[in-house]
């Protein structure tokens, strides 16, 4: 692994930790007591859906983190998927999951806009 990425790896690991804690808390809330009142039950169901959405988001981010860590392990992290150039560290720090260098990302956006 490139020395430059040590700091980014720390960031990813910290983020993963934070997400794991958040997910655990969400699950705990989700499984805590059910009330008998039907209106409250409806409210709880709604909350459960929100929690579900938040959970999915956290899961998605966790899988992106896992992917980035895996790429670091295999020395593919920070490579632009389009041109294969190294993505500048400053960009990676701002966008930990950046897949493309700025040039290719801009080109891709323009392509999608059309
Ligand atoms: Zn590129």
Other beta carbons less than 10 A from residue 5's beta carbon = 19
pLDDT attached to residue 104: 96
Residue 40 Cα to ligand 1 middle (Å): 52
pLDDT attached to residue 95: 93
The three-state secondary structure class of 2 is coil
Residue 27 Cα to ligand 1 middle (Å): 40
Residue 25 Cα to ligand 1 middle (Å): 39
Q: How many CA atoms lie within 13 A of 105 on its CB side?
A: 14
Residue 100 Cα to ligand 1 middle (Å): 5
Please give the chain's pLDDT, 114 residues, in tens: 666 899 999 999 999 999 999 999 888 877 665 566 777 778 887 888 888 888 899 999 999 999 999 999 999 999 999 999 999 999 999 999 999 999 999 999 999 886
Residue 20 Cα to ligand 1 middle (Å): 32
Break the chain into its structural domains and give their ranges: 1-75, 78-114
pLDDT attached to residue 35: 60
Residue 60 Cα to ligand 1 middle (Å): 24
DSSP string, 41-87: HHHHHHHHHHHHHHHHHHHHHHHHHHHHHHHHHTT-TTB-TTT-PBP
Residue 13 Cα to ligand 1 middle (Å): 26
Looking at the DSSP assignment, which residues form a beta bridge with residue 79? 86
């Amino acid at each position: 692994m490139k020395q430059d990425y040590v700091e980014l790896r720390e960031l990813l690991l910290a983020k993963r930790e934070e997400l794991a804690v958040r997910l655990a808390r969400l699950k705990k809330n989700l499984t805590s007591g059910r009330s008998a009142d039907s209106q409250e039950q409806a409210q709880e169901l709604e909350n459960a859906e929100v929690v579900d959405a938040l959970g999915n988001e956290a899961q998605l981010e966790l899988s992106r983190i896992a992917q980035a860590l895996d790429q670091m392990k295999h020395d593919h992290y920070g490579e632009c998927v389009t041109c294969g150039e190294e993505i500048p560290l400053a960009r990676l720090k701002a966008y930990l999951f950046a897949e493309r260098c700025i040039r290719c990302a801009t080109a891709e956006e323009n392509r999608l806009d059309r």
